Amino acid sequence: MEKKRRAVMQSFNVLRYIKKYQIFIVAVSLLAGGVFYLIMLNKQHYTATAVIRYTNERAEEGLAPDGSDIDVTEIYSEEVMSKVFEQMGMEYSEFNLDEFRSRVVVEEVVTPEMEAVQEAKNEVGEVVEEKPTEFSVSFYATRKDSREPEEFSRQVLDHMLDAYIGLYGARHINGEVSSNNISKLDERDYDYLEMIEIIDDSVQGTLENLLNKANNNYYYRSSDSGYSFADLYHEFDSLSKIDINNIYAYILNNRVTKDKEKLLNKYRNRIADFFRKNGTTEDEIKGIQEIIDSYVNMMRESGNTDISSDYILDNVHEGYVQDENNTEQWNPADRMTSYDTLMKDYVRDRESFEAALIDVAYYEYIIEVFEGTEQTGTGVAVNIEEETGIAAETEEGEEEEKEGRPAENTETAEDNPEEAEEENAEAENLPTVSKVSEKEALEQMDSRMTSLIERLDELYKKLSVTNSEYNEYAGAANISVMTNVVIEQQYKLMLYAALIIVIFACVMSVLVMVVGRLLDIFEYYIYRDNKYELPNREGCDHYMASFRKLLPDSFSCITFKLSDIQQKNNKFGRDKTDEMIRDFANILKQTFGANDDCFLAVNGIGQFVVFAKETSEEQAEAYAGVIRNAVMDYNRDEECKIEFEYGIAETKKTGIYRIKVLLMNSLYHIKPAEMTE
């Protein structure tokens, strides 16, 4: 029996299963490819890469123009990446600077020719002294950084290389520019004299820096600011010689101060600090001087100019010193080096000491001026808390003094003591001061200081622009970008997605074949009548259950019912009757089996049902006529004759669009088949 079942079971046809589930296979495969693409799209790295070359003279030795080692880590230094953030307007709350630095990769570019040369030198035992001058610089971005990661990675790399080239020029070629430390100086808690001292020191440092730049880059001129280093030097020099000196003179001549006592205390403290520090320096100088004197005395006492320095220095220094790594080993002392170092220390300490004395003298002078014990030029002694003055000198007196004639005066010294004091001052060739109101002097001082600071701020801005542009120029002259920025994707997503689709299509095809075959086996044992090799009643119910919606037009149900089954059983026996029923089932299968739009099932003993799509009532009658003719041919040779009834119900004709109701209607209109020829 089992062999019979296997023989009649529907054959295994791969294409049948694939064709049946092709939409499902395609949909699942495309869905898998799409999901993979979207997931990997967020993990995709877009890497921008460019190649740079160091072109300065000693680059092949691994040295920068200033003689320092070329350090490629400067390319992604914090200073460079900070400028990238600034230029691209990136917020530190949204992007992590250290993470961006970690994404930068700098690798040596070694060509096959260079490798061949290195191998050849290694074979003969030569040391390869040349160092690589070309490096590839790359940076990757993801979609988390930007919706357009390719362009984002390109911009970051471009800005990073620009910033590094400028930094390279500043650190190794041009040097840093003097910083502007006077911005908003007038808003801080400084007295006028302190402010002008800070300004003067800043300008003098800038002039020294600019003089060197102007001499080394005489023909350079910035396209942004329009200034050369020489132009800027002259601008700062003019302010130093004229404006700053004039403000110095105005402050001292008029003793202008915000708080005299506070200002004088600051200078007294400075003097005390200098004396305290110079005490230590003076002790060091004396110690060095004693050693030098002992050396000179030994030379004089020797009386022999042929005696080497070792003989003399043996009596000044120890002849041997203990080795730092081996305490039991004693090495000869480097006496000449020790003596040279001694002299350098002496000169340095002496210069520091003398400079401090000059500063102290200046501070004492300032104290004397503001205390009124030192005469200054014309002006008025002005203080926020007090105001003092001396009688004004007349223009006539000045003219007569120049001509060698005394000024006309009708009053005697006793009658006018102020005139007598003025005459005494003129006799000593000392200027006098004119009386100016406190408010006017302070307003004028504020105006002058504000104007100077504003002019210096503007100059420092021009200097910064000029110097930054020169750094880029100098850096670009020593670093060449050899290639355009190239963008590469870490994963070829379209190719991988296509492979995923193909793989899933293959997997799903195998899956549907296995599942389809299992369903065939299931249907064979559950939904098929093994005797007639047709769907049974459960199979018929399963088929009808698939039509949940209304049936279309031209959908027909044909019911066949064999007559007198019981009588034939009694007359011809069960086996003969069963064979007759199987033969009738075969006639039905031959008629409807080749049409995929027809479903044929056993619906009871001797009862069969056919559901035919796209079949009108007339076509159904034609099918019934074909079957009637085949039965008539069968009955000629068989003792057990086939007698049957049939009923037809068509949706459009009956107006019934429910499949079960249509089946019942066909059973209701069942009629005997006429067997007349």
Which residue has 């997997």 as its token pair?
Answer: 507
What domains sit in the chain, N to C, each tagged with a CATH number? 14-41+492-512 (no CATH), 45-175 (3.30.1890), 530-672 (3.30.70.270)
Alpha carbon separation from 79 to 85, 166, 174 (Å, rounded): 10, 11, 17
Lowest-pLDDT range, 326-340, 399-413, 476-490? 399-413
| Contact in structure between 609 and 659 (CB atoms under 8 Å) | no
DSSP 353-366: HHHHHHHHHHHHHH
Q: Which structure tokens are listed for 557? A: 């149900």
Say how far apart CA 380 and CA 382 lie, in whole Å: 6
Backbone Cα Rg of the chain: 56
Task: Write the pLDDT tens digit of every residue in 55-82.
Answer: 988 888 888 888 888 899 999 999 999 9
Indicate if the pLDDT at residue 590 is higher than 70: yes
Say how far apart CA 136 and CA 64 lie, in whole Å: 18
Closest CA to 662 of 529, 512, 544, 546: 544
pLDDT of residue 402: 39
DSSP 24-40: HHHHHHHHHHHHHHHHH
Q: Three-state SS across 210-268?
A: HHHHHHHCCCCECCCCCCEHHHHHHHHHHHHHHHHHHHHHHHHHHCCECCHHHHHHHHH
**Judging by beta carbons within 10 Å of its beta carbon (0-12, 13-18, 19+), is residue 480 exposed, middle or buried?**
middle
pTM of the model: 0.55
Say how far apart CA 72 and CA 53 lie, in whole Å: 11
Alpha helices by DSSP H, 72-222: 78-88, 97-102, 112-123, 149-169, 192-216
Q: How many helices (H) and strands (E) does the chain have?
A: 23, 16
Task: Write the pLDDT tens digit of every residue in 93-140.
Answer: 888 999 999 999 999 887 777 667 677 766 666 665 678 888 999 998
Nearest-5° Cα angle at 450, 448 to 455: 95
Indicate if the pLDDT at residue 84 is higher than 90: yes
Closest CA to 474 of 226, 217, 218: 217
pLDDT of residue 136: 92
Task: Write the pLDDT tens digit of every residue in 538-583.
Answer: 888 888 888 888 999 889 999 999 988 889 888 888 889 888 998 9
Which residue has 């089954």 as its token pair?
Answer: 565
| Contact in structure between 363 and 267 (CB atoms under 8 Å) | yes
More confident residue, 43 or 282: 43
